Amino acid sequence: DVKVTQSSRYLVKRTGEKVFLECVQDMDHENMFWYRQDPGLGLRLIYFSYDVKMKEKGDIPEGYSVSREKKERFSLILESASTNQTSMYLCASSLDGLTEKLFFGSGTQLSVL
Amino acid sequence: QQQVKQSPQSLIVQKGGISIINCAYENTAFDYFPWYQQFPGKGPALLIAIRPDVSEKKEGRFTISFNKSAKQFSLHIMDSQPGDSATYFCAASLNNAGNMLTFGGGTRLMVKP
């Protein structure tokens, strides 16, 4: 079974800190995604990547950047964390651009104080 | 602007009852409609999906009903069980962009024993 692993289950950071969220998948998937999950808003796409060193903005990229130096690893970066970035962050992967099924990690609950 | 609207936000059903969650979409170019199931502490996982060329798809106790003219689709859970208690997300995607999903806001289902 595909495994998508997010490095932290819970994170507490201070306003203005630089925050790194890490995600690793073990099935050689081409596509990787970062979503944030907020009550009543569902899942909203922040960034995605379809290949190493490639990235595309999703629906809410402001305040975030990403890095994909290796195929299996996709990092989400908050350059200067703000309280409105307190949320559940979910990483996902899919085999390729034509494959519809997403595999999600268990999420990182980030609190920015 | 949320392109996929989901209702209700929360739902309580007695064991053995039918759970019904509804979604409405705006973009007529959507052509893939999955439902994801999320248990507490876990990431969402694909439950069932449908394309607009059929009006219904059934997998075990789970059925998707699709109404193309009304731009609506719904998830029916027959003989609901306490183990079905989870958050359910509907989603939609465009042709040839199947893994670029637009999610609904989610429904928190509780099945009482």
Of A96 and A28, the structure prediction assigns the larger pLDDT to A28
Contacts of B32 in chain A (CB under 8 A): 100
Confidence check: pLDDT of A52 > 80 = yes
Contacts of B103 in chain A (CB under 8 A): 35, 42-44
pLDDT band per the 50, 70, 90 thresholds, residue A40: confident
Share of chain A above pLDDT 70, in %: 96
Strand-pair category, B107-112 with B10-14: parallel
Lowest-confidence pick of A19-23, A26-30, A63-67, A98-102: A98-102
Lowest-confidence pick of A1-10, A63-72, A74-83, B84-93: A1-10
Q: Does A40 sit within 8 Å of B106, measured CB to CB?
A: yes
Q: Are A92 and A101 in contact (CB under 8 A)?
A: no
The mean of the pLDDT values for chain A is 93
Confidence check: pLDDT of A90 > 80 = yes
Write the secondary structure of chain B as one string of H (helix), E (strand) and C (coil). Answer: CCCEEEECCEEEEECCCCEEEEEEECCCCEEEEEEEEECCCCCCEEEEEECCCCCEEEECCEEEEEECCCCEEEEEECCCCHHHCEEEEEEEEECCCCCCCEECCCEEEEEEC
Q: Are A58 and A48 in contact (CB under 8 A)?
A: yes
Q: Does B103 sit within 8 Å of A102, measured CB to CB?
A: no
Give pLDDT tens digits for B48-107.
999 989 999 999 999 999 999 999 999 999 999 999 999 999 999 886 666 788 999 999
* Among B102, B81, B86, B88, residue whose Cα is nearest residue B1: B102
Q: What local confidence, expressed as pLDDT, does residue B96 receive?
A: 64
Q: What local confidence, expressed as pLDDT, does residue B97 receive?
A: 64
SS3 A90: strand
Q: Pick the residue from chain B with its C-alpha nearest to A39.
A: B105
d(CA A88, CA A35): 8
B18 alpha carbon, distance to own chain's centre: 14
Residue with tokens 């609207």: B5
SS3 A103: strand
Q: Are A23 and A9 in contact (CB under 8 A)?
A: no
Residue with tokens 């629906």: A59
Q: Does A31 sit within 8 Å of B104, measured CB to CB?
A: no
Contacts of A107 in chain B (CB under 8 A): 42-43
The tokens for A11 are 């994170």
Interface test with A, best of B100, B102, B107, B108 (most A CBs within 10 A): B100
